[in-house]
Structure 1
Amino acid sequence: MAKKLMLLAGLLLAQPVAAQPAGTPPAKDAYTWVTLGTMGGPMPRPGRNEPANLLVRAGEAHLIDTGDGAMTAMADAGADYPNLRTVWISHIHFDHLGGLYAVLGLRLQTRTVRPLTIYGPPGMKEIVAGLIAAMRPSARSGFGIPGEVPIDPATNINVVELDDGAVVKLDAFTVRVATNSHYSFVPGSPEEHTYRSLSYRFDLPGRSIIYTGDTGPSEKVTQLAKGADMLVTEMIDLDNTLAQMDRRVQHISPEEKTHMAEHLTRHHLSTQAIGQMAASAGVGRVVVTHIAGGAAQGGEPAYREQIGRLFKGPVVIAKDMERF
């Protein structure tokens, strides 16, 4: 009886939420890119979740970055959690992986044992191992039913750390990897030799999508994007971001603020830099997400116009739950 109750609870939790399409349904065998979260940075903001994206088609789902709220957004997008095959983390800043614990926790609670591979930069194995260790007390307690057999939260979870030039071939598509310029550690330091921020190119049946993740201007990313059908890129409105920081960040010295402004300028993409990259790479369209600091009030037409000075193709300033 206890086992039946436990399985019933798991099945109820695993039921998919009805899809909420935002546009024309894709062909049955085509992949759709969904911008689950389009906010950049760790500050909560109404209307925009932290960075997360979904690559989905019938019976198959892949998460690209997992900011806080990614699992709820995935359900809102109509994706069935047991169909999750892979997770791709661009870099190990918290706004890009804060929701990974929820991904693993739902897997535990629904007793999902289908293989899940988590791809990301160096450091991901340590992070996932730590999250699994944090799950073990919950795994042992289970649903609180006498006679329940605990499940190992590490079951069928594989972590693959990637670096510049890596190529991952899956059944239906290929992913190519480039390191980008989101980090600029002291030359020769241990950090320079350890940490990476990655950009991904998804070569899908019929089209290609490049996801910059967080990066500043980068020739490697521009080369990775050559001829891609869609460039999904981060963006920073520097003035708006610094204004947000002044209002919300406490206990920051003038020196720290100067360093932060330097980081935001060098390690993120302005509208001009996006236009240059898109034009140089010859991409088909630009989708702007990860808007650092959030979009300024009424700023979206200006962003499109600024990018359009250099890139003459279509430009979309994405909102959460848009489909491409």
Structure 2
Amino acid sequence: MMPDAANSAPAGNETRLILLGTKGGPRPSPLRSNPANLILSGGTAYLVDCGYGTTRQLLASGVQPHELGAIFITHHHSDHTLELGPLLYHAWIGGLRSPIDVFGPPPLAALIDGLFAAFWFEIATRMQDEGRGNPQHLVRVHEIGASGVVLEAADIRVTAGRVHHPPLQDAYAYRFDTTHRSLVLSGDTAVCPDLLGLARRADVLVHEVMRVESLPRLIAGLPNARELHAHLLASHTTTEQVGAVASQAEVGTLVLNHFVPGDDPAITEEMWIASAREAFGGLVIAGRDLLEV
């Protein structure tokens, strides 16, 4: 079902992609915001992931929370979901009048119920004092249990593809096919055959990336350094691997995103993209917050 026009952003002639937050991992940073991506197509605004700082970055991009038509969550790590509750609250308080669709793997419904429960005293107070409706009636939850088309209309088709991000069983990438171009957002994933199929010949692949040689500095001094290092190696795609992924999928442009580490000022854009260029002959872009691709 297509999101209602009342939630739509101003119409445009092209499909626009804006990287709102490009830092991977739950720790906040002054250098990059946590993961979130905005797609504007056919007069509707679509948000992919909702990490800390998303509302601020959405406003900076010129879109109000209540103008969103749909939200897509790739998986339930906090750097992708931490601001989902506050964003839905801000959409409601800002004048949301018709339901917003939220897609993602289970337990999405339980997560949203819990987020509303956490704010319920505030919500109930404003409902009684200001005559507002119940915000839970303005959210339509769509839990994704398998790869496939999750939203389709005349000018857009959104397809979810399961990816490999252990230990989570349910993690997805999304492909947006519009009348103007095709965009794939990998979410968090190790190298994964299913992602190659989803991204086949896409115009733009926005893919997470990790720089292995910078991990020791990232985890230095942490009491869980050994376990965290093992997790990172098992569940992410390295700078050496991501170019091959783009090449095998035959995409037009590769945009690096969800940088791990994303708050190390010693890593330059050229250092991020050098290895990817060795395996991929197309355009490689190092993403940054609020970059439009």
| TM-score (ref. length: structure 1) | 0.82
Counterpart residue number, 1:287: 255
Distance across 1 between alignment mates of 2:128 and 2:103: 33
Correspondent of 2:28 among 44, 54, 66:
44
Residues 179, 197 of structure 1: 8 Å contact kept: yes
Distance across 2 between alignment mates of 1:274 and 1:158: 35
Q: What residue identity is the alignment partner of 2:104? A: G
Q: What residue identity is the alignment partner of 1:102? A: P
Distance across 2 between alignment mates of 1:201 and 1:57: 13
| SS of equivalent residue, structure 1 residue 170 | strand
Counterpart residue number, 2:189: 215
Distance across 1 between alignment mates of 2:226 and 2:98: 47
Distance across 1 between alignment mates of 2:149 and 2:120: 33
Q: Does the C-alpha gap of structure 1 residues 295 and 273 become closer, same or farther in structure 2, counting only changes over 3 Å?
A: farther
Identical amino acids, percent of aligned pairs: 27
Whether 2:291 is the aligned partner of 1:307: answer no
Over residues 291-313 of structure 1, what are the superposed CA-to-partner deviations in whole Å (9 max), with x where a residue is unaligned?
Answer: 01216414321222210111011
* Aligned length, in residue pairs: 284
| SS of equivalent residue, structure 1 residue 320 | coil
Residues 45, 68 of structure 2: 8 Å contact kept: yes
Q: What residue identity is the alignment partner of 1:88? A: F
| TM-score (ref. length: structure 2) | 0.90
Query: What pairs with 1:241-252 in structure 2 (closer than 5 Å)?
Result: 241-247=215-221, 249=222, 252=223
Distance across 1 between alignment mates of 2:160 and 2:127: 41
Over residues 257-297 of structure 1, what are the superposed CA-to-partner deviations in whole Å (9 max), with x where a residue is unaligned?
Answer: 32221211121010121011101000001001100121641
Distance across 2 between alignment mates of 1:34 and 1:321: 6
Counterpart residue number, 1:275: 243
Correspondent of 2:39 among 30, 40, 55:
55
Correspondent of 1:169 among 132, 139, 151:
151
Over residues 67-94 of structure 1, what are the superposed CA-to-partner deviations in whole Å (9 max), with x where a residue is unaligned?
Answer: 0110110110011333211000000000
Runs of 4+ aligned residues of structure 1 deviating over 4 Å after TM superposition are: none
Over residues 136-188 of structure 1, what are the superposed CA-to-partner deviations in whole Å (9 max), with x where a residue is unaligned?
Answer: 2111221885xx33421202211111133221233221111111111147xxx
Residues 28, 52 of structure 2: 8 Å contact kept: no
Distance across 2 between alignment mates of 1:241 and 1:96: 21
Distance across 2 between alignment mates of 1:298 and 1:269: 17
Give the number of the structure whose alpha-carbon radius of gyration is greater.
Answer: 1
Counterpart residue number, 2:63: 79
Q: What residue identity is the alignment partner of 1:269? A: T
Mind listing any 5+ residue stretches in structure 1 that lack a counterpart? 1-13, 20-26, 186-194
Counterpart residue number, 2:206: 232
Correspondent of 1:121 among 102, 105, 126:
105
Over residues 182-236 of structure 1, what are the superposed CA-to-partner deviations in whole Å (9 max), with x where a residue is unaligned?
Answer: 1147xxxxxxxxx401111111112111110000010110111110000000011
Q: Does the C-alpha gap of structure 1 residues 278 and 320 become closer, same or farther in structure 2, counting only changes over 3 Å?
A: same
Counterpart residue number, 1:152: 134
State the superposition RMSD in angstroms: 2.2
Distance across 2 between alignment mates of 1:123 and 1:272: 33
